[in-house]
Structure 1
C-alpha cells in the first residue's frame, strides 16, 4: 500500500496549485505535468504502477483541475508555467533531484524549463507528445535542407487546430460549447487501443479546464517568431505514441542538436497513451529512471 497526499502551494505570482503525491518520498521522485485539456488525473492509471518503487508527484497546471484559474492570457506564458513547475519541483525535492515527465503542453513546459540554464533539481526528462516550441523552426529548417518534405507535410494538422485554439475569443467558446471535448473524444475512439481501456475514469475535459486554453494564445506565435531556446545537458527520453494524430511521431525526433543525451522510444497508442496504455509508459519510465539513478550514483566516483 502506498501513501497519498494532496496540498496546495503558492507560486511567485500568488496562484494556488493543487499538488498530489503517492509513494514513499525516500524513493526516487518523479514529477508529472499534464497537458490540455487534461488535469492531473490523466496519470491516474500510471500512478499506482510506478508508486510502488517511486515517489510520484502530479499537479493541476494553472487553469486546470483544482488549481487557480487566472483570466489574463499573459498569465499562461511559458516562462510563467515553467516557474510554476520549478516551484513544484522545489517543494517536493528533498535534495536528491527529480525525474521530470511531461505530456502534451506539460511536455512543452518541461522543455522550456530544462532549456533554461537556471533550472534546478531536474535529473532527467521524459517528453511525451510535446516538442519544445522554440525548437520547431530549427527542426523544419533541418528537414528542409535534407529535403525531407514528407516529414514537414506530416505537420499539416497542427496549424489547423492550434490556429483555432489560439484565437482569444474563439478558443474559450469552443471549450464552453464542448467542441474541443468532441475532438478529443473522436481521437480517443479512433486511435487508442480498445484493449488498453480500463476504462479511463476521466477523459479530456475542456469545459472544466478551459481557462488553460489561454496557453495557446499566450505562446504559439510569440515563441515561434522569436525562438531563443537552445539545448540542455539534462538527459532526455522522448516517448512517441505511434498513432498520435495531434503530434506526429516524426516531429518529436531529432530535437535541438545541443540536447546532449536523447533516447527516442515508440509507444503503442494515440495522443493519450499515458492514460490508455499506462503500463507501456511505466515500463519505459522505470527503465529510464533506473539508468539515470545508476549514472548519477557513479558520477561522484569519476
Structure 2
C-alpha cells in the first residue's frame, strides 16, 4: 500500500508482533539505482504517531532509507488494550521486530522522541544491541532506569538537591496521568485544543502548520496513558543498572517542561560513547526545529558510519 503523506510518499506495511499489528511507513532508498543507504528508524512518543516526523522526513530522505512506524496502540497500529503490553520490554521488542523487518541482519540507526526515545533506551541496553543498532539519537526521553539511578544519587548529594527538586516538580504531571479515569476524561474534552496549546508562546510556540497530528489524536492521548501506569513508578523507584555500547547522541532541550537537563548528568556512567548537544527549545523539538534535528542526526550517523567502515 502506498500512502501519500505531508512529508513524502511512503509504502505502508504491517509488522505483526505479540498481539499487535504495527503500521510501518517506509520512504525507500534515496536513489534506487545506487548502493543501499543506511536505514534510519524514527520512533515517536505520546501522544503522537509517525506524523510527528513529517517536517523531518524530507530533510533526511535524500541521505537515508527513512522508516517510521506507529507504536503499539497509536495511529493505525493495533494492540490488545492492556496495561501490561505497554511495558518497556514489550515496546523494545516491537522496535526490534520493525528493525528486523526493514533491515534484516543489517544494523539500523535510530532517532527517538519522548516515549519513543524511552523505549529505544530499553532496546539499546539489551545484550548485543550494538550489533543490531548502529547509533541512537535521543530527544526528550531518558532511560527510566538511568533517571532513577540519577535521582537516587542526587538525593544523597547536597549540591544536586536543587536539580532533583526541579525534576520532581517537572515530572509531577505523570501522577495526574496515572490517576485512573480523570486524565482520560480531561483529554477527551480538551484534546481538540492540543494544536492551540502547542502554539502558545509560553508552551512550545510551534506554528500550527508544523503541528502534524493524526486523526486518532484524542484516542491516542487516552489509550496512550497506559504507558505511564506500566512503567514510571516501577522503573524510576526501582531502577536497574543498564549499560550500552551503542553510540548515543543526546539532543537535550533546555526548556523542556518535563525532562530537566540535569537528569542526563550521569549518562557517561551507562553509555560507552555519548555526544551531547544542549538546544534552546521546548519538548517537541522535531516540530519546532526539524532542520536542526535532521542536521544533527545526519552528522552523527555519518561520523559513526565512518568509524565503522
**TM-score surpassing 0.5?**
yes
Structure 1 contact 168–214 (Cα < 8 Å) conserved? no
Does 2:46 correspond to 1:59? no
Q: Shift in Å at residue 118 of structure 1?
A: 4.8
Q: Which digits, 9 at most, give the CA deviation of each residue in 1:151-200, with x for residues without a partner? A: 11221333421011122333322332226x65775354224356xx3721
The SS at the match of 1:57 is: strand
**Unmatched 5+ residue regions in structure 2?**
1-6, 31-35
Residue 117 of structure 1 corresponds to: 127
Structure 2 contact 177–228 (Cα < 8 Å) conserved? yes
Paired residues in the alignment total 293
Question: TM-score with structure 2 length normalisation?
Answer: 0.87
Residue 14 of structure 2 corresponds to: 8
Q: Shift in Å at residue 28 of structure 1?
A: 0.7
The SS at the match of 2:225 is: helix
- Select 2:82's aligned residue among 68, 72, 80: 72
Question: TM-score with structure 1 length normalisation?
Answer: 0.89
Q: Which digits, 9 at most, give the CA deviation of each residue in 1:7-51, with x for residues without a partner? A: 11101x121000012141721111111000111100000001001
Structure 1 contact 17–61 (Cα < 8 Å) conserved? yes
RMSD over aligned Cα, in angstroms? Answer: 2.3
The SS at the match of 1:271 is: coil
**Unmatched 5+ residue regions in structure 1?**
298-302
Residue 43 of structure 1 corresponds to: 53
Structure 2 contact 211–287 (Cα < 8 Å) conserved? no
The SS at the match of 1:111 is: helix
Q: 1:1-302 counterparts in 2 under 5 A?
A: 4-11=10-17, 13-24=18-29, 26-119=36-129, 121-144=132-155, 145=157, 147-178=159-190, 182=193, 185-189=196-200, 190-193=202-205, 197=207, 199-203=209-213, 206-209=217-220, 210-255=222-267, 257-297=269-309
Q: Which digits, 9 at most, give the CA deviation of each residue in 1:198-234, with x for residues without a partner? A: 7215248751312121000011111223222411111
CA distance in 1 between partners of 2:94 and 2:151 (Å): 30
Structure 2 contact 108–134 (Cα < 8 Å) conserved? yes
Q: Shift in Å at residue 71 of structure 1?
A: 1.3
Alignment CA distance shift 1:111-1:188 (3 Å): farther
Residue 300 of structure 1 corresponds to: none
CA distance in 2 between partners of 1:221 and 1:72 (Å): 17
CA distance in 2 between partners of 1:296 and 1:282 (Å): 21
Q: Shift in Å at residue 93 of structure 1?
A: 1.3
